[in-house]
Amino acid sequence: MAVVMDDLDIETAMPAVLRAFYARVKSDELLGPTFNAAAHDWDEHLDHTDNFGHR
C-alpha cells in the first residue's frame, strides 16, 4: 500500500524515521565511525532531532 503524503503525520513520523536512520547509521561499518565521531552524545542529538522543525 502506497503512503500518500496527505495521510502522513510528519510531526509524528519524522522522529521515528530519524531514530531508525541513526540506529542503522551508528552501527554501519562505513558510516558509523563518521557519525559517531560527530555526535558526541547520541541521546542529546536524538532529542534535538525529535524537536527539529517544532517551534
9 within 8 A of 53, measured Cβ to Cβ: no
What is the value of pTM for the model shown? 0.68
Q: What pLDDT is recorded for position 50?
A: 84
C-alpha cell of 20?
531508525
- Compute CA 38 distance to the chain's CA centroid, rounded to the nearest angstrom: 14
For 12-43, the pLDDT digits (tens) are 788 888 899 999 999 999 999 999 999 889 99
18 within 8 A of 54, measured Cβ to Cβ: no
Terminal Cα-to-Cα distance of the chain (whole angstroms): 32
Q: What pLDDT is recorded for position 7?
A: 66
pLDDT at position 46 over 60: yes
Q: What pLDDT is recorded for position 53?
A: 61
Give the residue extent of every domain in the chain.
8-50
